[in-house]
Amino acid sequence: MISNRHRLLARAFLLFYAFRLSAGTPQQPASRLASSVNVNSRYIIEQVQVNGFPASKLNDSLRFKLQKLVGSAYDTEALDDLVHSLRKDLHAKNVTQHLARGSSPEMVKVILEVERRSVALDLSVPKFLYHSKQGWSAQMLASTTVARNHGFIFGLVSDGDELTERFTGIQAAYENLHVGTDRLRFRFAFEDYHQQWNRATTEALSDPTVLSPALRTDAPELYRARRNFQPSLAYAIEPSLVVTAGLSFERLQETLPYLQTEGANAFAAGLQYHQRFADENGGGSTADAAYSIRVANRALGSDYLYTRHHWTAGYIFTRGHHSLSEQMTAGYISGRAPLFERFVLGTSSLLRGWNRYEIDPLGGNRLLHNSLEYRYRMANVFYDTGSLWSRGKVPTLKHSVGVGIRQSIFSLAIAFPVRQGRVDPILMVGMNY
Amino acid sequence: MLRLTRRLFLLAGCSAPFTVALSAQDLSARLDSANVLHVFAPGLHFLKGKPLERLKDGATVAILGQLTLSLDANVTMATRAVARFALSYDIWEERFSVSRFAATHQETATRSASHLSPEAAETWCLDHLTVDTSVLPSGRQFWIRLELRIEDGREGNQIIGEPGINLTRLIEIFSRPARAQQQRWQLDAGPLHLADLRRSSS
């Protein structure tokens, strides 16, 4: 005799089997069927050309999809997917696809015509973060492109994560995306911020024993507002290699009782490299490197005289659901730099888990940091190590570890400083940080 | 009696460019040895305009076809056949290729032809849209209605699956009016008698 328990088990098994059967025979998408019957699927795609949008402005994902199609058989499904992505990512009015003969009878060329909106307004939130020690940080940008090549950006920001200070204010920029050529761009940026200082920073500046010997004689001043005008040019030597050069005229209004205005006017230049490599197994890797220099001198009317170097290098290796990333950051400042230029550890990306004001409430002028992160699907673990010091002080290496989850642009992480004594974990939640 | 309202007038005006109704003389029929009815319409050309542009841009264009027989001047349907054809255009050979997807579980094979001129591709589609006349009472007059429409993406996702196309959904599509922007053609013929139809071996 079959017991009720066995009946239930049998029913559960039948339900499971029925589910497997229904899940195992999915409806074949129309596009898949269309691909298999398209007579051009016997030809190889020689080139995918995008007209109506500068190739240098395509994002990594689109470039990857474009590269993947070249050398493969003509596939209407993959092309439909690309057209859909182009329309979505470029906020295009329309994207039409054309097919042309290639250079030999087995090859074809795909031409994608991007029709852009005459005026497109994009709203974005490049950063949104809650940090259990530093509170909220957020940036919101509105951007529009007029007559194809003229971009206008306006943004609001309140950030207590990146620098020693919390800066709150507005950002605005004009960009010309085609100065004679798609490779050369002009940008004029304007920033206007008001500052809030942590008590640890104000106390450190008033206590000479905390300051390094170099700062005792020439300490930076606290300021209550700063305003920056920054014209610059960017030239893409290759799509993966961009060099920038410009000027930065930054005015700092000191706090009470002085209320003087000081200038931190600098020549700014940089070099950025970004390359994505795809392998045949669907995995790939991404390499990034950047160097920037800011030189403030009397020729530009600067009151602060300094040179700031900053290097970053990163490599992300992805295979299936596994991803391993390695990021290195280094910085060096010589001379007397304002507080916003000084390096910080204990942010949402550098030495996560540490309170920045415990490391150095004034920031440092020497920085070395490394971050190693492993990710499987949504879950990730990381190990950060770094040192922040100033001239005349002995560098000490600090470590932190953490775990988190990351889905698309959303992240949640808990980081722990590796040290003796009481350990306070730091929680970070947000997106794009 | 149909009242001509302003809305109806506008609807008719908007949809007129997309519907081509040819005269009865444009639709002819023949019977093969198995009493299966085939139609041909030399005056019907659906490979032109936007569908042709899409084909030459490398897209696959799907055409849905329905052939209906009725005993009362196309008021009620006696029997029908539906089919889906996928056409593509060879960019190098400048010739058309067409595949007819199996419409029933009994008929699982996909038939196809290639290296066709536009006219030959159109003829191939019509020749592979056939209907069995065995359900018609002998000696009764009957009418034929041929309907073709260009499939839009949403319809394609609804009707295509394993092993071929979903016959029920395809019939449902023909049961509702075509969308305003959807190109379609409709041809009627009749009254006819089976005995009067030309017979062929295949």
Dump pLDDT digits (tens) for A89-115.
887 888 999 999 999 989 999 999 998
Q: Is residue A81 predicted with pLDDT exceeding 70?
A: yes
Six-digit token pair at A348? 């949402």
Q: Is the pLDDT of residue A281 over 60?
A: yes
Q: What residues of B are in contact with residue A110 (Cβ under 8 Å)?
A: 58
* A39 lies within 8 A of chain B by CB: yes
Q: Would an 8 Å CB–CB cutoff place B90 in contact with chain A?
A: yes
Which of A133-147, A228-242, B146-160 has the highest average model confidence (pLDDT)?
A228-242
Q: What is the pLDDT of residue B109?
A: 58
Nearest-CB residue to A37 (from B58, B88, B90): B88
A37 vs B86, B157, B162: nearest CB = B86
Give the pLDDT of residue B23.
47
**pTM of the full structure:** 0.62
CB pair distance less than 8 Å for B60 and A34:
yes
For residue A7, pLDDT over 60 is answered with no
Contact A34 B57 (CB under 8 A): no
pLDDT above 90: percentage of residues in chain A: 61
Contact between chains at A110 and B58 (C-beta distance less than 8 A): yes
Question: What confidence category does residue B153 fall into, taking pLDDT thresholds of 50, 70 and 90?
Answer: low
Instruction: Decide if B161 and A28 are in contact by the 8 Å CB cutoff.
Output: yes
To the nearest whole Å, the CA of A27 is away from the closest chain B CA by 4
Residue B184: predicted pLDDT: 83
Query: For residue B108, which residues of chain A lie inside 8 Å, CB to CB?
Result: none
When scoring B88, B114, B170 by the number of chain A Cβ atoms within 10 A, the one with the most, hence best to mutate, is: B88
Instruction: List chain A residues with CB under 8 Å of B114.
Output: 39
Query: A143 touching B, CB under 8 A?
Result: no
How do residues B31-88 score in pLDDT, each as one tens digit? Answer: 888 888 999 888 888 888 888 999 999 999 989 889 999 998 888 888 888 888 999 9
Task: Name the residue with higher pLDDT: B148 or A208.
Answer: B148
pLDDT (tens digit per residue) in A228-266:
999 999 999 988 899 999 999 999 998 877 778 999 999
List all residues of chain A from 181 to 210 with a beta carbon under 8 Å from chain B: none
To the nearest whole angstrom, how far is the Cα of B110 from the nearest Cα of chain A? 10
Say if the Cβ atoms of B101 and A33 lie within 8 Å. yes
* pLDDT for A385 beyond 50: yes
